[in-house]
Amino acid sequence: MKWFLQRLFAAIAAIVVVLAGAAALIQYQYSGEPAEWAVSNGTNALWMGHDWVDGGNGDAELAGLAPHIRAGEISDVYVHVGPLEYDGTLDPALYPEAGAFLERFRAELPDVRVSAWVGQRVEAGELDLSDEDSRARVLDGAADLMDAGFDGIHYNFEPLPDNGEDFVSLLAETRDAIGDDALLSTAVPQVEPLAGISFGVRLFAGKDKYWSPLYLKRVAESVDQVAVMSYDTAMPMEGLYGGFVARQTRLALDAVPEEVQLFMGVPAYPDEHATRDPDAETPETATQAIRIGLSDAAERRERFGTALYVDFTATDEQWAAYRDGWVSPPAEE
């Protein structure tokens, strides 16, 4: 028994040392000053809630949001229109005011592209993307949304497995359904921060939290835009979150082809749960980390920006922090 306990304590100590080393390595990523050119170039995105298409929001709400969109240099918005049914059907009754919203929005913000945000949980007993009939119904819904006047389709299925063929098939089929002139985009999970870590996370969580860089590249090659959901990271402190996002930015820049628009997610919501510390995951930390990660490139990438999540919880203070951190940060002395 004594021998067993000694071995057990030694193993635990080794794990603690490894975890401490990994934490130090992650936090180190959030160091140094970003380059002056690592700022917004006017290509950024915003996820918008369902109230815009079901009649909950109108002229007054748009008048309040529009100045934030302009000042935030938002070029693309993803407006929630779902969710899909578990069989892939999208009921048009979920977005009865889409036409009126699009007319109102384009009159106010004619240069901002509007994509329909479509999604559903993809787990046992829920939407099955391996089923051809379910995918066909998803495509029917996408075609209806394009007929309603949206500029494109933005998918957000969670959780999606790493190296999954079904999602790649859906993207190819969607492109055929909506045509080359329409925007096709998707929200994507975080990138595996260290090679091999996904296996352990999968064993512990029972699902993939991360995608490999190779799979992200493969998905990105099928779309016009990808938005990395660089929040809900389970990082418990500002330094760890900042280091994680800086690392995510570097990995995503390497994986996503230059001709594809890459957005890095910025959190602006109050939720606190097992995978999010709202005191660590802030717009200030996210934008600084993104700038640090971007600064590792030789020059400013044209098709690169941020995506703020989400309009209906973002406060005036968070919008200001986003602008100060990304759109027009103060010059370094």
Task: Work out the mean pLDDT of the chain and round it to a whole number.
Answer: 90
Say whether domain 40-327 belongs to CATH 2.40.220.10: no
pLDDT-based confidence at 300, cuts 50/70/90? very high
Residue 259, pLDDT above cutoff 90: yes
pLDDT at 14: 31
CB proximity list for 224: less than 8 A, separation 6 or greater: 152, 183, 184, 185, 260, 261
- By mean pLDDT, which of 7-11, 64-68, 99-103, 134-138 is the weakest? 7-11
Domain boundaries, the chain: 40-327
Give the three-class secondary structure for 187.
strand
State CA 3 to chain mean position distance. 49
pLDDT at 330: 86
pLDDT at 7: 43
pLDDT at 206: 59
Q: How far apart are CA 81 and CA 187, in angstroms?
A: 15
176-230 tens-digit pLDDT:
999 999 999 999 999 998 766 655 555 555 567 899 999 999 999 999 999 999 9
Q: How far apart are CA 23 and CA 121, in angstroms?
A: 31
Give the global pTM. Answer: 0.91
pLDDT-based confidence at 127, cuts 50/70/90? very high
How much is the average pLDDT of 124-151? Answer: 95
- DSSP state for residue 51 in the 8-state scheme: G
β-pair partners for 76? 45, 113
pLDDT at 203: 54
Q: What are the CA-CA distances from residue 288 to residues 62, 184, 272, 310 (Å)?
A: 29, 28, 21, 19
85-98 tens-digit pLDDT:
999 999 999 999 99
A 10 A CB-CB count for 221 gives 14
- DSSP state for residue 92 in the 8-state scheme: G
pLDDT-based confidence at 256, cuts 50/70/90? very high
pLDDT-based confidence at 15, cuts 50/70/90? very low
Higher pLDDT among residues 326 and 275, named by residue: 326
CB proximity list for 108: less than 8 A, separation 6 or greater: 62, 63, 66
β-pair partners for 79? 48, 116
User: If you search the block for the tokens 């106010």, which residue do you land on?
Assistant: 108
pLDDT-based confidence at 21, cuts 50/70/90? very low
Q: What are the CA-CA distances from residue 22 to residues 224, 243, 324 (Å)?
A: 34, 11, 30
pLDDT-based confidence at 29, cuts 50/70/90? confident
pLDDT at 208: 74
pLDDT at 28: 61
Q: Which amino acid is at 233?
A: T
CB proximity list for 30: less than 8 A, separation 6 or greater: 239, 242, 243, 245, 246, 288, 289, 292
CB proximity list for 233: less than 8 A, separation 6 or greater: 190, 241, 244, 245, 275, 276, 281
